Each structure stands twice: as structure tokens, then as C-alpha cells.
Structure 1
């Protein structure tokens, strides 16, 4: 039986009130005739009125006499002690000080001012007091020790009171018994309580303690008989306590029904809010008789009050919730009880916490609690079951980092562990691959091959490693890895085809592309396209043409029409080739090249007049295209062959003025020389030659070495060193043909070390350049201005990039930049528009659509349009990536804000079960779970969840918020309790 400490403390205060009247009564001793006695003798006999008569008869009083007079007035109620207190301060060493201090302390004791009583009595030495005062001092100071729970000191002082003949031996015996009980001396306590049980003043309280002691001694029948004789329907602490004792007695006899009735009555008769012990006992009895609802109510109340019953109640609540099938609530209860200092409670709590986490799909937490269990209770009979649970959780968890760490710590020493390790490292690799973290993916695929127990996983790991090698342009390695599979499937053949194709080994590539037959039609179509390209590259033009035509019957593609035109051109079918090229004139990617090839068909057929319009169109409308210099050169030759020497001269000179570093520049000089020899006056030929030499100096090889060295620094991520090297390069070669590219690398190096202030003007200088760098320059301009808060400048850069239509990738980068720019500046409607644009685009990178959907969902959320927001998040929620984790969190948050708390909890529990690797969203989801419980007024569940967050969360921001929230709950709980007690 657990001692009810709170009841005993209240009882102490109650009895303190009871005995006060008795002690005051002893001060009213019948007056005797002391007319001939001195004042001091009268005071010692407690004849305080006589003291006043004696001293009033004197003309003048000594200091001692004045003190006696003041003490007498204090004893008769004609003084509040102020004069004595002041005198004691001024006279710390006066011989009368002990006497004055004792009586002043005694006065404050009976005035119920324990602090002042303690202050004056603590310095009194009993040896300086009379026998009667010693007895009073021992009793009074002893009671003060009880208030401070200093029971040994109280025992000694009560002994002093008894040995000096304390007047009220019955009261003294009661307090001595009370003291012995709290010192654990139940036999001595029982003997004393039995002596005073007949007292009108102390009898009821004494019987209460007799019953408690008998209960501890197992004298159940006697407890029930005694308590039942004392109980009534009066609301009081003692009466409630007697009912509680009878309930405990019946509980020890396993009579749950009777125990429940008395515990329930004890709660009803308690004049204040019952303590945790009574709520706990009542809750357990309700559980035993099958009243689960009331059991949960009482046990929850006991848990909220804290102390040793918080964990006891949590354990019982866990069992109750499991019985009712409320496994989430059971889990939080067992987590709470796991904090107990009781070894048995702690062991059972850890076991059930591990089991329930696994049952609910929270496999990472199941592993945590399982391993904690094994560390603490590895020799327990349930340890084997926990080991099985951990192994199964490893197989199912999505928190691969934790699984890998735990397996490594365990040593990976048996076949099961090796199989699990292969699988979790493979899944971690897939997760990294899907998140486009290819460096980490490569490392994890290699790690999964350390223990190749499962042949299928081994083959898949080699396949993905081959794909990554192909992506890194390591074609020989990719070929080796594809061939390491036990069976080379169609996807591997597809990859092998590309590995050879990218090395221009077209004959070998053909062999693999021909055999591709996958379930993915996009892959099959692409393999056919590459097979046709291989035919073209090996000059099997008719085979290539046949396959391009076959593909065009299934889909329309600018690339295919362009390639068809090339095949027809090489087969000498010029007009058919031009017809094919005409199909792509309007296409940004292939239009200029198609016109150029159409012009070349006429050019190579010596139809110069027919060729000129094609080259002219490119020159006029494609000013940024590399084909402009070649078109100028070919048009100049056409003019020359047509006898239009002046027009030919103008085109040659234009090449040298505008494209002096192009491949056409040298031929332009040669062309001018030919015109000069033909009689066309060329006045600036020597200056053009000098300009060409200056633009293309002979020491180009040294220049190239230095340029490539600077690039190497850039690609080695040494960006500051790269910027310095390129700046030196520009000083040494101010007219280099690589000048523009060098400036780009300087600007991008500063961008990558986040020195945006230095990068911005350099990119701004390059924004008018129209070459292969244009897209990257404008993207960087948009990104930098966005980071610096220059919203308009950022938007202008992105819009210009869209308008130029350089490539699908550049267009995407611009749209993505605009989407993110508007979102970051809370222009949510514009962000949604650009997200929709991206989603509807023909091309976007891996995860491009997911990012757009996420921004769209967030934006609708910030606009409070929950329906639209949910549509975006639901499209992402079924995935296994970070977008799915965040989307599921937002779906839970929206449900919470719509007061759909059960729906919110289900969504958040699913997030934790299926996407446990994404720590940030798991931590934030637990905080939202706690807020859901608070909203549902499930205070116990909320507190247990918040404590778990504080102990286990990885995100400090979340831990801080959880700490703040639980402090607010505790503060509110204490305030409410205080209000109830006052009421």
C-alpha cells in the first residue's frame, strides 16, 4: 500500500487547529492569592494579572521588571509582542533574552504564525528554562518540526516535553504516535494511537491511523470493521480517507466491486480535489470491474497531477487503450510510463512502446525502443521477441539512415542482418537517386553490394550504378556494370546502346538499340530514334530514312523531320529533303539548321540564286545563331559566283568585322584575296589580316593551356582560385577568343561563393551576348537579383530568357525562377500562374513538376483556398520523396485548421509510418499531432507527445516550440487546480 502523503499533511494541519484550544485553556489556571509574592514568582506561576498588580504598585520599574510586565500583557492578550521584539533586537545578550524569546515564540505559535515562532524558538536553549517551560517548549517546537517533516527532531522534542511533565499527556501521546508513524515505527505508533482512540478530540484521527497501520500489517477484517464504524456521509478529508482505506482493504482481498464502491465514495466525499493516489486506486478498480471509460477518466486525472502516480497511471492507461483498440493513445501512455523509476514498470513500458510502434507502422521508433529495451533488459525472457521485432522493423522502415546506423552498431554478424543491410542500403540509394542526389546514390548502391545476398537486388544495384556512370560520361565503366547483371534486360540493353553511342561506336550501339523491348513506350521509341541515328552515322541513309519514316507515322517530331531531311539530302533527293526541312522552319531548335541545309542543297547544286534567300533569312532573323557566320560565307560565295562582287565583298568583310574569331573568318580573308585578284578593289585587306592575327594570335596553344587550367580550378570547385586565374588570363590575353567565356567563369565563380555583389555587374555585362552562354547568364542574373531583393530586375532577366526561346531547359529555368521569385515575395497568384505554366510544359527536369505542384499547393494554402491547395498536395502525397513528406504534412495542417482533428491525426500518422526518413517533416508532424490532441482536449496525450518530441526530435526549432507549449499547458493546469481548490 502506498502512503497517502497529501492526506497526512492535511491531517497534520487539521490536528494543529484541534489542539490549539486545549493549550490555551491550560493558561487559564485558577487564580491564587499571590499578593505577597514578587513579580517574577507570580510570572513563573503563570499568574499574569498578579504580575501587573505587583509592578503597578512600584514607582519605577527595572529593565527586568518591564520585560516581565510586557510578557504578562502578551500572555493576557493585551499586547501583540511588538515591544518585546524591539527589545530583543536591542538587547541580544541580556540575561532575560532566553525567557523572552521562549514566550514570544510560544505566543506566535498559538497565534498560528509558524515562521515567527520558529524564528524565536530556534535560539532558545531548554537548559535556561524552568521545568514547566521546558515541557511547553518541547511540545511547541516539536509540532513546528512536524510541519517541516523533520520527524527525528520532533521525536526528541516530544520526549523533552514528556520528561518535564507536559500538562496534556493525551495530546502529547497523539503527536508522538503521529511522529513514530512517519519514522516507520508502526508498532510504537499503534500503541500510542490505541491509547488516545477514546478521546473526543483525537479519537477520530487516531482511529484513521490505526486503520492505516492495520492495513499495512494485513489485518484486513479489522480495518474494515474499524473504518465502517467511523464513516459517514459528511464531506471531510478524514471521512474520505476512511472510505479510501476500506477500498484499499477490499482491493487487497481482490473484491474489486466493493473496492470500487468505496473509492468512488471517497472521491465524492473529498471536500477538495482528490489527490493522485485516490484517483489512481479508483481508476484501477474501474478497470477491474470493466468500466473502461471511467477508468480512463480517473487514471488520466492521476497522471496529470504528476509524481509517482503519473507513470503508474500511464501504465494502466496503456493496458486500457490496447484493450479498446486505441493503439496510438496506448503508445503515448506507455511512452509516459517508461519514465518511471520502477524497474518493472519501465521494462513493461519499453516492451509495449516498441511493440505498438511497430504495430502502428512507426518502425524507426520501434527500433529505438527495441534497442533501448535490449540495452536495459537484454537478459529478459522477452528479449528474443524484441530482437525479432527490430529485424522486422528494419525490413519495413523508411528511415533508412537510422536502420543503417543500428545495423552497423549491431555488427551485421548473421545472414538475416546481412540481408536486411543489403535491402536498407539499396532503398537508401533509391531514395537518394529519386531526390537527384546522385553522388550519395552511387555510394549507397556500392554499399548494398557489400553483402549481395539477394541476386535481384544485386542486379538492380549494378544497373543503377551503370546508369550513374553513363550520366557521368564514364562509358566504359557503365558497360562493365551493365554486364555484371546475371541477366542483361531490355533497360540495360538500352543503357549499353547509349554507352557505345556516346563513344561514337555506332555499329555496337545498333546491336543493343535493336533489342530494346520494354514496357515503357517512351524508352522503346527513343531506342528506335537512336537506332536510326546510328544508321545515319554509319551512312546507312536508306535504313535510317526508313526508320525515321516509321517513327514519324507514330509521332510528330521536329528532330525526326530534320534527320529525315538529312537522309534525303545524302541520298541525292534534294527536293524531298527541302520538303522535310520545311516542316521544321518554325521550330526554335531546328529551324535555322533546316533552312541552312535547304540552302546548302541549292548551293551544292550550283543553284546560287536559289540558295541566297535561305542564307539571307538566317543572317537577318537569327543574329545569335552560330550559323550566321557560315551563312554569310556561303552567301558571299554565291554572290561571287553570280558576279555580284560588291555584295560578296560586303559579306566577307562583315564576317571579319563581326565574326573574326569564327571558323569562317580565315575563309573570308581568302575570299577577299580572290576578289582582289579578280579586280574588285579591297582597300582594307591588310588591316583585316592584322585584325585576324590579333584576334587569333600564333601562341594560341599557350593561351589554351592557361585557359583550361583556370577551367580545371572551376570544375574542381575552387571558385575563388578560379576567379583569380581567369582575371589574370584576361590581363595576359585581353583579345582572346575565350574572353567572353572567361568573364562568364569569373562571374559564376563569385556566384558560387555567394559574392553576389561582384558577380552581378559581370553577368549584367554579359547579358547581351548571344551564344551558348546566353541561357546560363540570364538565369544567373535572375537568381542573383532575386537573392538581393531586386524583384523587377530578376523578373526582367527571366522574362528575357523566355522571350529568346533558346532551349527547353533555359525556358524552364526562367519559369522556375519567376515562380520562386513571386512565391518568395508573397505574390501567390503569380506564383500559381507560373507553376501551372511549368506543369503544362512539354519538357521539365526530374522533380520539376513536383516542385511546381508544391509551390502551387503552398500558394493556394497562403491564399486560404484549401480545396485548391489540397488538390496539389494530394497529387504529391502518394510519392516516396521529400515532396510527398511536405505535402502530407500540409494536408494534415489543413485538416487541423479546418478542425478535422481525427483526419489530421490519420494523415500525420501515415506520414510518420511511410516517410520516416524526412526528419524535418516527421518532427513537425509530431508537433502538429500534439496540437491536435490539445484541440481535442486530450491533455494527457498532448503532454506525452510533447515530451517525446523534446527527447527525440532532431530539429531544434521544433523542440523549442514543444518546450514552450508544454510549459504553457503545465502553467494552465496549475492555475486551474488552484482555482478549483479555492472554490
Structure 2
């Protein structure tokens, strides 16, 4: 077997050389012995036979050792040592003795090494003894080397390291030094003594030996481990030149590119490496890193492709972090069903990965239109406190979905403490908007106000605006329910934070309305005036113009109701003159009528008529009032026929109008005032017969009675006057009826019947002075009728109650009938 063959089998490199050196020594010894004449021939023959026998055992042992048959080799070397020891004692001469001792030492060495490979417990001691006993022997120099290699082969790296460090490199050949350095470095590596290992690999990788590529590989790996990525790449590329390492280098090289964040370099290198034949070791892990590189490059389509290959190779049994990345890549690519499938298992974890998965699971459900499922995922993500920014975003998403589903109480509950939990959130404006919308849409204004008031100065402008609007809305609710006293304080709260000028004007208008309902017109006037000012301060938007108009309308009415018609008129005029005023506005024609009324009161009848006509021509809702007022106004202008026609038009167009009975009354009144008592009486009769519950009946009866009196139908007149006094004794018409009854009874010569009517009236109206005049006139009538017996008590009564009355000197005068 060759020297290199024995070295690879564990035999020292110097063994064969030592064997060849022994041969000339034996030849020389034989020559010297042949020259001596003292020994007999027989002794020489016996020595030669013994030598040949011993040498046979030695050579046999070497062959067996080379064939790794260490048990048989050990027996052969043992026999050699037994024979050799006896023969060494028979030999003479220093050269012969030295040669035999050296050969015996070789046998001892091989015997000990054979025992080492046979795992004999005494083998290590024999080798160490050999090194001590034969310090100058060539084998002693490599005894520690062989012992170290043995332990190295046994993977006992601690013992191997100990003995490799005892080897003297100068006593080793170049190949042995390379082997010693590599194996000592590898032993350090296995013992996690990486710094010592790296020094040896770095030195050994420079040698032109069979360990160059292995040393380059481990030097590259340790450089990678130390973060020296450039050095690692350089060493690993050398290692990859060797077939033994070509398939294992790509896994580490890919890791290096990944650690460097050089994703483009990783993709370029690894995709090429994956095409090798045969494929590199850990090809699936390389695929995973390529996928992750694409993931980091946000090329989620490519990332998903490599991730799927990896997952398929592992039959779906993959790490949760990879499962998350697959789901996230699917989400980014819009593949929401697969994103949901990948993320939902990871989302159950109670760590930061689970929180991320839950959040993106919620987003995926949302994109898939599964809002209820999204809510559960966002809720899980927001409950975790591991990643505060993620909790914040999940809380916001949760509230937004609840809002979209109409679950407004849940929106408010979710965001109630948001400002406290995330005081400097960039999402605060969105949160405030959601809270604002939630509060305003929930109509639970009382709870909203309590919450907003609890925030104090932390509300911010947006929520102050919400507070203003909610306080106003709550006030409006109370106003509409007729709870005016409770509404006013809320309007004051709304006005305290005037973020919205239009809303501020609206609150002032409502205050004016409340004061108007309570007939507190001075306060109403102040509120309406402030409303107009508030709106104008904001530049008067369309919404604000609405409240300017309402303020004018309300202010005009407040002045109107306090009979300040000259102040009411400009407000109504301004309302109608504003470009925003449109006939379709609910108050437009009502304002027109009130302006007409102010002209009517001011006796500007033509201007009033023009406005009444405008309402009539527009066929507005209140046209019946316009008809009525127009008829009255025309009557005042003496245009009796036009007035009558106008009132007739009212009755025809709207017979059930609330002004219908007044129109009938006015028609009769027009005839009455014109002295047409027949038509007048007929008109009053229509009212009495057709409107039995009318408030105008007392006046209708009284005036019909006067018409009858003027038509000389005194009995009918008396009946009407008595009707007023009996059925409506406290009405304003009763006093006039009493006067008229006296005149009609006088005309009929039945003055004595008046006493009963006067007594009845007096009982119903004890403070009225009308009876004094009537009693005086009655006594006078009796006196003039020469009914002295009846006149005397009446005169006495009148005299006692009205001493200042003067009687006429003679009864010759005629008392005319009153109209």
C-alpha cells in the first residue's frame, strides 16, 4: 500500500520511510558478522532462521494494519516483539542492537495504535508510554497526532483538541500539518470555540492541500456567523469550486445576501443556484429566502409563488411567521379568500405575530365584504397591547365597521377612551369625526353631552363643534316636544362654543321662537337680532342666509305682535327683497300677508291691496285670508261692489275657510253700512242659520235687529235684541243691544218691558254704566208718554242713581232711531 494510502488509513506518513532505512543497516551488520571467524556456521544459521521468522511477523503486521485488520495486526506485532526481544539479546554490536531496538519500537507503536482503533482501554496509555520511552523515535513525533486523529474520528472533539494541540508541527509533513490544522479547527468548531477555529481555517485555506476547500467552507461559515459577509462570500465561492461543497454553499450564500438586505443580489444568485443539477442542499430553504426577498421588495406575486412552493414541499406544515407572510402576500395581491385561509389560524396566537395576522385578517374580511367577521378580527387585534400602533389602527377600523353597520353605540364605546389611550394619534381627526357622526346619528344627545362635557378642555375644535350641534339638537328635540324651559339652557350651551356661525344663528332663532311662544317679545326681539348678526359674521353662506331670513321673519312678527308695525314692516320688506327669498319658501306668502297688514294698519290701502292680490294670484295657502282682507279693504275704500264680489269669491273658492263666516258677516255689513237693510238682514240671517257656533252671532243678531228696526220691523228687532241679552249677556254686543232694545220698545210703546231686560243685564254686568243711561231714557219715555204712575218710581230710581241727569223741559221732542 502507498504512503498516502496508509496516511489516509490513520498510519503516520513516516512509517514506510523508516522501514526502508532499516534495510542497509541489516546488510551492513551481516557483512560485519561474516568477517568474524570466531562464530561457528551452525550458530549463524540459527540466527538467520530466527530473524527471518520475526521479520515475517513484522511484515505481516504491517499488511494487516494497512488493511485495518487491527486485531490480527496486533497479534502479529505481539509475536514479533516476543521473538524480537529474544533475538535482540542474542545479537552483538552497537549497530545491530540499535536497529533491532528501533524495529521493536515500531512494533510497539503499531501495536498501541491497533489497540487504539480496537478501542482497547489501555491503548491511549500505551501510546503515551511509547512517546515517553522513545522521545527520539520518529514515531514519537506523530504519536499525539495519531491519538488526536483517533479521537477526532470518534467525534470526541475535546480529546482530539487536547492532543492536536500537543503535536509539534515541525515534526509533521506538509500534508499532515494541513490535516492537523483542519481537524483541530473543526474540533474547536464543534466545541463552539469559534474564534480559535476561524484562525486555523483561515490559515489552512491558504494551503494547497486536500483540506483547502473544507477550510474555505468553514472559514466562510464562521465569517458569516461573525457578520463579515464580504469575507464569507469570498471563502464560500472558493469552497463552491469543489464538488463536495458546491451543493451546500448556496444555502449559506443566500443567507448572507438576506442578512445584508441585498434582496436583488439574493434573487439573482439563488434563482441561478436553484437551477443546479443536482439541486443544492436545502433547496426548499433557499426557495423560502427567495420568496422572502421578493416579499421585502414588495413583489408579493413572486413572493407568493415561492412561498407556495415551500409550503407544498412541507405539506402545509410551516412556521406561523411564514403562514402570516403568505396570507399578507395574498392580501396585497387582492386574493382575499386565500389571505383569509392563511391568516385566520395565525390570528389565534397571543403574540405580536397573532396581532398582525388578526389586523390583516380583518382587512381581508372587509375587502371580501364580510363585515361581521372583520369586526371579530379587528376586535382581537385591538385588544392586544403588544403593538400599540397596531392596536390603535385596529380600534379605528373596528369603529369604522361598526359605524357602517349602523351600530352607533358600539362606535362610541370603542372610541370613548381613544384620546386617552393614544394622546398624540395622527388618527384623532378621523376619530373625532366618527364620534361626532356617531353622537349626532344616535339621537342619544343626553349621553353624548355627558361624554363631551367629561372631556373638558381635551375636546378640540372638532368635538367642540359637535358639542355645539348636539346641544342644539337636544334643545330642538325639547322645543318640538313643547319643553321650552328645558330647551333654553341647552341653547345657551350650544352658543358657548360657536364653531359654526350658521348653527349659532339657528340657536338664536330658536331662542327667539321660545320667547315668542311665551310672549316675551322684548327678549325675542333681542334673540332674533343676535341671530341675524351671528349669521352675517360668517360671511353668510347659503345655510346662514336661511337663518338670516328666519331672524327677519321672527323679528318682524315680534314687532308686529307688540303693535310696533313701523318696525315690523322693514323686517318683512327685507325678507321679501332678499335674493334667497323664493315663493316656494314656506314663509314667503305669510310674510307677504303680514307686510300687507302693516300697510292696511297704516291705511296705505292700495299697497295692502297689491300684496293681497299677489297672494291670491299665486293661489297660495293663505289666499282665503288675502280674499277676506282685500274685501275689507275695498269696503273701507267705499268700493262696495268689488268688496262684495271679493268676499263672494272667497266663499266660492273655499266655503270651509276659517274666514268664511267673517266673509258672510262682512257681506252683510257692507249692505248694512250702505243702508241696504233688507239685503243686510238676509246676510246676517245666513250667518245665523249656517254658522250656529260662530263667535260672530252676538254681532249678527244685534245688527240684524238694527236692520229690522230700520225696516220698521220692530217686533223682529226686539226679538234679536232680546236674543243677544239672554244668550250673550256679557258680549260687547249686549250693551248696544240694550240701547237698541230700548229704542225699539219705545217705538212700540212698550217701554215698561225694558225693566226686566235692564235688571237681567245689570245682574250679568254689575259694573257697566250702560244701565244708568237706559234707566234714564226709560223714565223719560214713560214721562213723555204721560204714564206718570209708572214714570214716578223710575224717575225716583234714576234720580237717586244719576243725580246729574237733566230732564227735557217739554215732552214735544222726538227721539230718533239709532243706526
TM-score, scaled relative to structure 1 = 0.39
Larger radius of gyration: 2
Q: More relative contact order in 1 or in 2 (CA 8 Å, sep 6+)?
A: 1
